[in-house]
Protein backbone atom coordinates (compact mmCIF):
# COMPACT_ATOMS: atom_id res chain seq x y z
CA UNK A 1 0.00 0.00 0.00
CA UNK A 2 2.82 2.36 0.74
CA UNK A 3 4.90 2.60 -2.39
CA UNK A 4 3.94 6.23 -2.72
CA UNK A 5 6.00 7.15 0.28
CA UNK A 6 9.12 5.39 -0.76
CA UNK A 7 9.07 5.62 -4.52
CA UNK A 8 10.40 9.01 -5.42
CA UNK A 9 9.13 9.71 -8.90
CA UNK A 10 11.43 9.58 -11.87
CA UNK A 11 11.61 12.81 -13.76
CA UNK A 12 9.85 12.95 -17.03
CA UNK A 13 12.49 12.25 -19.55
CA UNK A 14 10.51 13.03 -22.64
CA UNK A 15 12.31 16.25 -23.53
CA UNK A 16 15.75 14.88 -22.97
CA UNK A 17 14.53 11.82 -24.77
CA UNK A 18 13.69 13.86 -27.85
CA UNK A 19 17.31 14.51 -28.62
CA UNK A 20 18.22 10.96 -27.82
CA UNK A 21 15.35 9.72 -29.95
CA UNK A 22 16.65 11.72 -32.88
CA UNK A 23 20.00 10.15 -32.34
CA UNK A 24 18.23 6.87 -31.95
CA UNK A 25 16.58 7.35 -35.32
CA UNK A 26 19.97 7.76 -36.88
CA UNK A 27 21.14 4.74 -35.02
CA UNK A 28 18.29 2.41 -35.63
CA UNK A 29 16.76 3.22 -38.98
CA UNK A 30 16.77 0.04 -40.99
CA UNK A 31 18.28 1.88 -43.92
CA UNK A 32 17.79 5.14 -45.75
CA UNK A 33 16.55 3.37 -48.83
CA UNK A 34 13.94 1.32 -47.05
CA UNK A 35 12.62 4.42 -45.33
CA UNK A 36 12.42 6.40 -48.54
CA UNK A 37 10.53 3.62 -50.29
CA UNK A 38 8.02 3.39 -47.51
CA UNK A 39 7.46 7.12 -47.50
CA UNK A 40 6.61 7.04 -51.20
CA UNK A 41 4.18 4.17 -50.97
CA UNK A 42 0.83 5.02 -52.50
CA UNK A 43 1.93 8.19 -54.24
CA UNK A 44 0.44 8.74 -57.65
CA UNK A 45 1.93 10.62 -60.53
CA UNK A 46 0.27 13.87 -61.44
CA UNK A 47 -1.14 14.61 -58.06
CA UNK A 48 0.06 17.07 -55.45
CA UNK A 49 1.11 15.81 -52.08
CA UNK A 50 2.16 17.67 -49.02
CA UNK A 51 5.88 17.55 -48.49
CA UNK A 52 5.63 15.11 -45.65
CA UNK A 53 8.58 13.04 -46.78
CA UNK A 54 11.21 13.39 -44.12
CA UNK A 55 14.47 14.88 -45.22
CA UNK A 56 17.07 12.23 -44.69
CA UNK A 57 19.99 13.57 -42.71
CA UNK A 58 23.36 12.81 -44.20
CA UNK A 59 24.99 10.43 -41.81
CA UNK A 60 28.64 11.32 -41.79
CA UNK A 61 29.67 8.15 -40.07
CA UNK A 62 28.03 4.77 -40.15
CA UNK A 63 26.46 4.65 -36.69
CA UNK A 64 24.64 1.41 -37.24
CA UNK A 65 25.32 -0.64 -40.28
CA UNK A 66 22.01 -1.90 -41.66
CA UNK A 67 23.39 -5.31 -42.53
CA UNK A 68 23.89 -6.15 -38.87
CA UNK A 69 22.23 -9.33 -37.80
CA UNK A 70 21.35 -9.20 -34.15
CA UNK A 71 21.74 -12.38 -32.22
CA UNK A 72 20.21 -12.52 -28.75
CA UNK A 73 21.52 -14.24 -25.67
CA UNK A 74 19.17 -14.61 -22.72
CA UNK A 75 20.69 -14.37 -19.27
CA UNK A 76 20.25 -17.55 -17.23
CA UNK A 77 20.65 -17.75 -13.49
CA UNK A 78 24.29 -18.31 -12.63
CA UNK A 79 25.41 -16.66 -15.85
CA UNK A 80 28.30 -14.25 -15.99
CA UNK A 81 29.02 -11.74 -18.70
CA UNK A 82 31.93 -13.96 -19.70
CA UNK A 83 29.62 -16.95 -20.16
CA UNK A 84 27.21 -14.88 -22.26
CA UNK A 85 30.02 -13.64 -24.46
CA UNK A 86 31.33 -17.15 -24.76
CA UNK A 87 27.94 -18.42 -25.91
CA UNK A 88 27.80 -15.60 -28.45
CA UNK A 89 31.21 -16.64 -29.73
CA UNK A 90 33.01 -13.55 -28.50
CA UNK A 91 36.30 -14.01 -26.70
CA UNK A 92 37.02 -13.05 -23.10
CA UNK A 93 39.75 -10.75 -24.43
CA UNK A 94 37.17 -8.70 -26.36
CA UNK A 95 34.91 -8.55 -23.30
CA UNK A 96 37.82 -7.28 -21.23
CA UNK A 97 38.61 -4.67 -23.86
CA UNK A 98 34.99 -3.61 -24.05
CA UNK A 99 34.59 -3.18 -20.30
CA UNK A 100 37.86 -1.28 -20.12
CA UNK A 101 36.82 1.06 -22.94
CA UNK A 102 33.40 1.72 -21.42
CA UNK A 103 34.62 2.22 -17.86
CA UNK A 104 31.81 3.31 -15.54
CA UNK A 105 29.36 3.63 -18.41
CA UNK A 106 29.50 -0.13 -18.89
CA UNK A 107 28.13 -0.82 -15.47
CA UNK A 108 24.58 -1.75 -16.51
CA UNK A 109 26.08 -4.61 -18.51
CA UNK A 110 27.56 -6.09 -15.36
CA UNK A 111 24.21 -5.95 -13.56
CA UNK A 112 22.17 -8.14 -15.88
CA UNK A 113 19.42 -10.21 -14.34
CA UNK A 114 18.20 -13.64 -15.38
CA UNK A 115 15.65 -13.39 -18.18
CA UNK A 116 17.15 -10.26 -19.68
CA UNK A 117 18.56 -10.28 -23.17
CA UNK A 118 21.84 -9.11 -24.56
CA UNK A 119 22.07 -8.79 -28.33
CA UNK A 120 25.25 -9.15 -30.32
CA UNK A 121 26.03 -7.98 -33.84
CA UNK A 122 29.10 -9.10 -35.69
CA UNK A 123 31.08 -7.54 -38.50
CA UNK A 124 31.75 -9.46 -41.70
CA UNK A 125 35.01 -10.81 -40.34
CA UNK A 126 33.13 -12.26 -37.36
CA UNK A 127 34.43 -9.75 -34.83
CA UNK A 128 32.07 -8.04 -32.41
CA UNK A 129 30.66 -4.88 -34.00
CA UNK A 130 27.94 -3.87 -31.57
CA UNK A 131 26.03 -4.85 -28.49
CA UNK A 132 22.48 -3.94 -27.59
CA UNK A 133 20.68 -4.09 -24.25
CA UNK A 134 17.46 -2.67 -22.80
CA UNK A 135 17.74 -2.05 -19.05
CA UNK A 136 14.04 -1.09 -19.07
CA UNK A 137 11.22 -0.81 -21.58
CA UNK A 138 11.98 2.85 -22.07
CA UNK A 139 15.74 2.69 -22.37
CA UNK A 140 18.14 1.10 -24.80
CA UNK A 141 21.91 0.95 -24.66
CA UNK A 142 24.01 0.49 -27.76
CA UNK A 143 27.68 -0.36 -27.59
CA UNK A 144 29.53 0.37 -30.81
CA UNK A 145 32.96 -0.58 -31.98
CA UNK A 146 34.62 2.42 -33.62
CA UNK A 147 38.11 3.58 -34.48
CA UNK A 148 38.78 4.48 -30.85
CA UNK A 149 37.44 1.25 -29.43
CA UNK A 150 34.06 0.57 -27.87
CA UNK A 151 31.72 3.36 -26.88
CA UNK A 152 28.24 3.38 -25.42
CA UNK A 153 25.19 5.40 -26.34
CA UNK A 154 21.98 5.45 -24.40
CA UNK A 155 18.67 5.92 -26.13
CA UNK A 156 15.53 7.00 -24.34
CA UNK A 157 12.54 5.38 -25.98
CA UNK A 158 9.76 7.97 -26.05
CA UNK A 159 6.63 7.03 -24.14
CA UNK A 160 3.27 8.41 -25.16
CA UNK A 161 0.80 9.12 -22.39
CA UNK A 162 -2.87 8.67 -23.20
CA UNK A 163 -5.26 10.17 -20.70
CA UNK A 164 -7.86 7.84 -19.23
CA UNK A 165 -10.88 8.60 -17.14
CA UNK A 166 -12.82 6.40 -14.74
CA UNK A 167 -15.52 6.99 -12.18
CA UNK A 168 -17.77 4.88 -10.01
CA UNK A 169 -19.96 4.84 -6.95
CA UNK A 170 -19.14 2.40 -4.20
CA UNK A 171 -21.77 -0.19 -3.44
CA UNK A 172 -19.88 -3.10 -1.89
CA UNK A 173 -16.28 -1.96 -1.40
CA UNK A 174 -13.69 0.29 -2.96
CA UNK A 175 -11.74 -2.51 -4.60
CA UNK A 176 -14.79 -3.85 -6.45
CA UNK A 177 -15.85 -0.34 -7.46
CA UNK A 178 -12.39 0.21 -8.92
CA UNK A 179 -12.38 -3.07 -10.80
CA UNK A 180 -15.91 -2.39 -12.12
CA UNK A 181 -14.71 0.98 -13.39
CA UNK A 182 -12.01 -0.81 -15.38
CA UNK A 183 -9.09 0.21 -13.17
CA UNK A 184 -5.99 -1.92 -12.74
CA UNK A 185 -4.79 -2.91 -9.25
CA UNK A 186 -2.01 -0.33 -9.57
CA UNK A 187 -4.40 2.55 -10.08
CA UNK A 188 -6.81 1.35 -7.37
CA UNK A 189 -3.94 1.07 -4.89
CA UNK A 190 -2.58 4.39 -6.14
CA UNK A 191 -5.81 6.18 -5.27
CA UNK A 192 -5.83 4.64 -1.78
CA UNK A 193 -2.17 5.63 -1.32
CA UNK A 194 -2.72 9.23 -2.40
CA UNK A 195 -5.80 9.75 -0.24
CA UNK A 196 -4.80 7.39 2.59
CA UNK A 197 -3.75 10.31 4.79
CA UNK A 198 -7.24 11.78 4.81
CA UNK A 199 -9.53 8.83 4.32
CA UNK A 200 -9.49 5.62 6.32
CA UNK A 201 -10.16 3.23 3.47
CA UNK A 202 -10.40 0.37 5.94
CA UNK A 203 -13.25 1.66 8.08
CA UNK A 204 -14.73 4.93 6.88
CA UNK A 205 -15.97 4.21 3.38
CA UNK A 206 -19.73 4.13 2.99
CA UNK A 207 -22.15 2.90 0.37
CA UNK A 208 -22.71 5.83 -1.99
CA UNK A 209 -19.17 7.18 -1.73
CA UNK A 210 -17.80 7.92 -5.18
CA UNK A 211 -14.57 8.65 -6.97
CA UNK A 212 -13.31 9.92 -10.31
CA UNK A 213 -9.79 9.67 -11.63
CA UNK A 214 -7.72 10.89 -14.56
CA UNK A 215 -4.67 8.77 -15.20
CA UNK A 216 -2.19 7.97 -17.94
CA UNK A 217 -1.86 4.87 -20.00
CA UNK A 218 1.59 4.55 -21.48
CA UNK A 219 2.36 3.47 -25.02
CA UNK A 220 5.58 2.82 -26.90
CA UNK A 221 5.31 2.78 -30.69
CA UNK A 222 1.56 2.34 -30.37
CA UNK A 223 1.86 -0.65 -28.03
CA UNK A 224 0.23 -0.41 -24.62
CA UNK A 225 2.91 -0.96 -22.00
CA UNK A 226 0.98 -0.25 -18.83
CA UNK A 227 -0.73 2.29 -16.64
CA UNK A 228 1.19 5.45 -15.93
CA UNK A 229 0.64 8.13 -13.35
CA UNK A 230 -2.57 9.23 -11.70
CA UNK A 231 -2.92 12.89 -12.69
CA UNK A 232 -5.96 13.88 -10.65
CA UNK A 233 -8.41 12.14 -8.37
CA UNK A 234 -11.53 13.22 -6.54
CA UNK A 235 -13.26 11.21 -3.83
CA UNK A 236 -16.49 11.88 -1.99
CA UNK A 237 -16.36 10.13 1.39
CA UNK A 238 -19.38 10.44 3.66
CA UNK A 239 -20.36 13.61 1.83
CA UNK A 240 -16.94 15.21 2.12
CA UNK A 241 -15.01 15.99 -1.08
CA UNK A 242 -11.29 15.21 -1.34
CA UNK A 243 -9.26 16.30 -4.35
CA UNK A 244 -5.69 15.55 -5.31
CA UNK A 245 -3.64 16.68 -8.28
CA UNK A 246 -0.18 15.52 -9.29
CA UNK A 247 2.51 18.18 -9.44
CA UNK A 248 5.61 18.01 -11.62
CA UNK A 249 7.61 17.00 -8.52
CA UNK A 250 5.64 13.73 -8.50
CA UNK A 251 3.79 14.55 -5.28
CA UNK A 252 0.08 15.10 -4.86
CA UNK A 253 -1.49 18.28 -3.58
CA UNK A 254 -4.92 19.79 -3.03
CA UNK A 255 -6.04 22.23 -5.75
CA UNK A 256 -4.84 24.95 -3.37
CA UNK A 257 -1.34 23.49 -3.32
CA UNK A 258 -1.39 21.93 0.15
CA UNK A 259 0.35 18.59 0.50
CA UNK A 260 -1.77 15.45 0.71
CA UNK A 261 0.95 13.78 2.74
CA UNK A 262 0.62 14.06 6.46
CA UNK A 263 2.53 12.98 9.51
CA UNK A 264 0.12 10.04 9.98
CA UNK A 265 -1.57 7.54 7.75
CA UNK A 266 -5.23 7.23 8.60
CA UNK A 267 -5.14 3.46 8.80
CA UNK A 268 -2.29 1.28 10.08
CA UNK A 269 -3.56 -1.68 8.03
CA UNK A 270 -4.30 -2.04 4.34
CA UNK A 271 -8.02 -1.67 3.64
CA UNK A 272 -8.01 -4.81 1.50
CA UNK A 273 -7.56 -6.99 4.59
CA UNK A 274 -10.39 -5.47 6.57
CA UNK A 275 -13.49 -7.58 6.92
CA UNK A 276 -16.04 -5.07 8.16
CA UNK A 277 -15.70 -2.06 5.90
CA UNK A 278 -19.37 -1.16 5.87
CA UNK A 279 -20.52 -1.60 9.41
CA UNK A 280 -21.08 1.88 10.80
CA UNK A 281 -22.02 0.45 14.21
CA UNK A 282 -19.11 -1.84 14.83
CA UNK A 283 -19.49 -4.04 17.84
CA UNK A 284 -16.67 -4.04 20.26
CA UNK A 285 -15.01 -7.41 19.78
CA UNK A 286 -14.88 -8.07 23.52
CA UNK A 287 -18.11 -6.75 25.00
CA UNK A 288 -20.24 -7.33 21.91
CA UNK A 289 -21.82 -3.91 22.45
CA UNK A 290 -21.66 -0.73 20.43
CA UNK A 291 -19.73 1.58 22.64
CA UNK A 292 -17.24 4.31 22.19
CA UNK A 293 -13.85 3.24 23.34
CA UNK A 294 -10.42 4.70 23.25
CA UNK A 295 -9.31 3.02 20.10
CA UNK A 296 -10.27 1.97 16.64
CA UNK A 297 -10.73 -1.73 15.99
CA UNK A 298 -9.69 -3.21 12.67
CA UNK A 299 -11.06 -6.72 12.33
CA UNK A 300 -8.65 -8.67 10.15
CA UNK A 301 -7.14 -12.12 9.89
CA UNK A 302 -4.24 -13.19 12.08
CA UNK A 303 -1.04 -12.34 10.25
CA UNK A 304 -2.33 -9.20 8.48
CA UNK A 305 0.54 -6.69 8.29
CA UNK A 306 0.41 -3.73 10.67
CA UNK A 307 2.27 -0.55 9.68
CA UNK A 308 3.59 2.36 11.72
CA UNK A 309 1.21 5.21 10.92
CA UNK A 310 3.97 7.79 11.26
CA UNK A 311 7.72 8.27 11.72
CA UNK A 312 8.79 7.81 15.31
CA UNK A 313 10.56 5.75 17.92
CA UNK A 314 9.28 2.57 19.57
CA UNK A 315 8.50 3.30 23.24
CA UNK A 316 7.42 -0.20 24.16
CA UNK A 317 7.28 -3.55 22.48
CA UNK A 318 6.04 -6.07 25.04
CA UNK A 319 3.31 -8.44 26.21
CA UNK A 320 0.62 -8.06 28.87
CA UNK A 321 -2.44 -10.15 29.69
CA UNK A 322 -4.82 -7.35 28.63
CA UNK A 323 -3.03 -5.96 25.57
CA UNK A 324 -1.45 -9.18 24.40
CA UNK A 325 1.53 -8.35 22.21
CA UNK A 326 1.62 -4.59 21.86
CA UNK A 327 3.74 -1.85 20.35
CA UNK A 328 3.67 1.81 21.40
CA UNK A 329 5.32 4.41 19.18
CA UNK A 330 6.22 7.97 20.14
CA UNK A 331 6.12 10.54 17.34
CA UNK A 332 7.90 13.72 18.38
CA UNK A 333 6.83 15.33 21.64
CA UNK A 334 3.06 15.32 21.14
CA UNK A 335 1.92 12.13 19.51
CA UNK A 336 1.77 8.48 20.57
CA UNK A 337 0.22 5.59 18.63
CA UNK A 338 -0.59 2.17 20.12
CA UNK A 339 -1.07 -1.18 18.40
CA UNK A 340 -2.58 -4.01 20.46
CA UNK A 341 -3.33 -7.76 20.33
CA UNK A 342 -0.59 -8.53 17.80
CA UNK A 343 0.36 -12.08 16.90
CA UNK A 344 3.89 -10.92 16.12
CA UNK A 345 5.95 -7.91 17.13
CA UNK A 346 8.62 -6.97 14.59
CA UNK A 347 10.22 -3.98 16.33
CA UNK A 348 12.12 -3.43 19.58
CA UNK A 349 11.88 -0.68 22.19
CA UNK A 350 14.14 2.24 21.28
CA UNK A 351 14.08 1.47 17.58
CA UNK A 352 13.40 4.26 15.07
CA UNK A 353 10.58 3.48 12.64
CA UNK A 354 9.36 5.25 9.55
CA UNK A 355 5.84 5.78 8.27
CA UNK A 356 4.54 2.67 6.60
CA UNK A 357 7.14 0.39 8.16
CA UNK A 358 5.94 -3.11 9.04
CA UNK A 359 5.92 -3.29 12.85
CA UNK A 360 3.86 -6.40 13.56
CA UNK A 361 1.07 -8.73 12.52
CA UNK A 362 -2.57 -8.72 13.52
CA UNK A 363 -3.37 -11.30 16.19
CA UNK A 364 -5.78 -12.28 18.90
CA UNK A 365 -3.51 -12.04 21.94
CA UNK A 366 -4.62 -10.53 25.25
CA UNK A 367 -8.25 -9.92 26.21
CA UNK A 368 -10.08 -10.41 22.93
CA UNK A 369 -12.70 -12.70 21.45
CA UNK A 370 -11.38 -12.58 17.92
CA UNK A 371 -8.45 -11.40 15.86
CA UNK A 372 -8.27 -7.65 15.35
CA UNK A 373 -5.95 -4.70 15.65
CA UNK A 374 -6.83 -2.24 18.37
CA UNK A 375 -5.28 1.09 17.37
CA UNK A 376 -5.01 4.16 19.57
CA UNK A 377 -4.01 7.68 18.67
CA UNK A 378 -3.01 10.03 21.49
CA UNK A 379 -2.24 13.73 21.38
CA UNK A 380 -0.57 15.13 24.49
CA UNK A 381 -1.54 11.99 26.38
CA UNK A 382 -5.24 12.22 25.44
CA UNK A 383 -7.05 9.82 23.12
CA UNK A 384 -8.21 11.60 19.98
CA UNK A 385 -9.92 10.72 16.74
CA UNK A 386 -7.24 11.02 14.06
CA UNK A 387 -9.92 12.08 11.56
CA UNK A 388 -10.71 15.27 13.42
CA UNK A 389 -7.26 16.15 14.74
CA UNK A 390 -5.27 18.79 12.89
CA UNK A 391 -2.10 17.03 11.81
CA UNK A 392 1.26 18.34 10.64
CA UNK A 393 1.47 18.37 6.85
CA UNK A 394 4.34 17.98 4.43
CA UNK A 395 5.63 20.97 2.44
CA UNK A 396 3.10 22.66 0.14
CA UNK A 397 3.79 23.48 -3.52
CA UNK A 398 6.66 25.99 -3.52
CA UNK A 399 5.41 29.59 -3.73
CA UNK A 400 7.15 30.18 -7.04
CA UNK A 401 5.27 27.27 -8.66
CA UNK A 402 1.93 27.83 -6.96
CA UNK A 403 0.16 29.93 -9.59
CA UNK A 404 1.08 27.54 -12.38
CA UNK A 405 0.09 24.54 -10.27
CA UNK A 406 -3.30 26.03 -9.38
CA UNK A 407 -4.06 26.74 -13.03
CA UNK A 408 -3.04 23.20 -13.98
CA UNK A 409 -5.12 21.74 -11.14
CA UNK A 410 -8.16 23.75 -12.17
CA UNK A 411 -7.87 22.60 -15.75
CA UNK A 412 -7.54 18.93 -14.78
CA UNK A 413 -10.38 19.03 -12.28
CA UNK A 414 -12.63 20.81 -14.77
CA UNK A 415 -11.90 18.08 -17.33
CA UNK A 416 -12.57 15.46 -14.72
CA UNK A 417 -15.86 17.11 -13.78
CA UNK A 418 -16.95 17.31 -17.41
CA UNK A 419 -16.17 13.63 -17.97
CA UNK A 420 -18.09 12.73 -14.86
CA UNK A 421 -21.16 14.64 -16.02
CA UNK A 422 -20.99 12.93 -19.41
CA UNK A 423 -20.81 9.51 -17.71
CA UNK A 424 -23.75 10.33 -15.47
CA UNK A 425 -25.79 11.56 -18.45
CA UNK A 426 -25.05 8.31 -20.27
CA UNK A 427 -26.36 6.11 -17.49
Residues that bind Zn ion (CB under 5 A): 295, 297, 374
Closest to Zn ion by CB, 387 or 415 = 387
b/e code 282-307 from CB counts within 10 Å (16+ = b): eebbeeeeeeeeebbbbbbebebbbb
DSSP annotation of 223: E
372-379 and 382-383 beta bridge pairing? antiparallel
Contact 205, 239 (CB under 8 A): no
Choose between 119 and 204: whose C-beta lies nearer to Zn ion: 204
Nearer to Zn ion, 132 or 374 (CB): 374
If phi over 0 gives left and psi between -120 and 50 gives alpha, with beta otherwise, what is residue 148?
A: alpha
Nearest residue by C-beta to Zn ion?
374
> ∠317-320-355 over CA atoms, to 5°?
30
Min dist. Cβ of residue 389 to Zn ion (A) = 19
CB of 373 to Zn ion, least distance (A): 9
> Is the Cβ of residue 135 or residue 295 nearer to Zn ion in the bound state?
295
Q: Are 90 and 103 in contact (CB under 8 A)?
A: no
Report the residue number, 112 or 368, with the smaller CB distance to Zn ion: 368
CB 302 to Zn ion: min, Å: 16
Residue whose CB is less far from Zn ion, 244 or 299 = 299
Nearer residue to Zn ion within complex by CB, 161 or 383 = 383
Other CB atoms within a 10 A radius of the CB of residue 181 amount to 18
Shortest distance in whole angstroms from residue 375 CB to Zn ion: 8
* DSSP bridge pairs for 317: 327
Question: Around Cβ 276, how many Cβ atoms within 10 Å?
Answer: 15
- Among residues 353, 352, 348, 276, which one has the least CA distance to residue 308? 353
CB of 214 to Zn ion, least distance (A): 39
* Min separation Cβ 323 and Zn ion, Å: 10
Q: Least CB distance from residue 290 to Zn ion, whole Å?
A: 12
Q: What are phi and psi of 346, to 5 degrees?
A: -115, 10
Amino acid sequence: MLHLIKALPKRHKILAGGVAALLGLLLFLPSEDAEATRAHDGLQVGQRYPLAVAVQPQASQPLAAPEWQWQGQTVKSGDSLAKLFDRAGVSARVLHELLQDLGKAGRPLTELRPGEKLEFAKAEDGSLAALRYSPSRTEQLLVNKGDKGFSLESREIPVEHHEQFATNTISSNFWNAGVDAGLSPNIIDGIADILGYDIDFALELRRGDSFAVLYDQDYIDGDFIGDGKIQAVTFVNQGQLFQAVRHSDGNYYTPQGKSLRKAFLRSPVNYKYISSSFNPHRLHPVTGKVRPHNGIDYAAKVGTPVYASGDGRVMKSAYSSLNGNYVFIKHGEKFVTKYLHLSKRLVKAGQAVHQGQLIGKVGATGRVTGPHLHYEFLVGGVHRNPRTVKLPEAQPVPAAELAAFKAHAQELLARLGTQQRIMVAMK
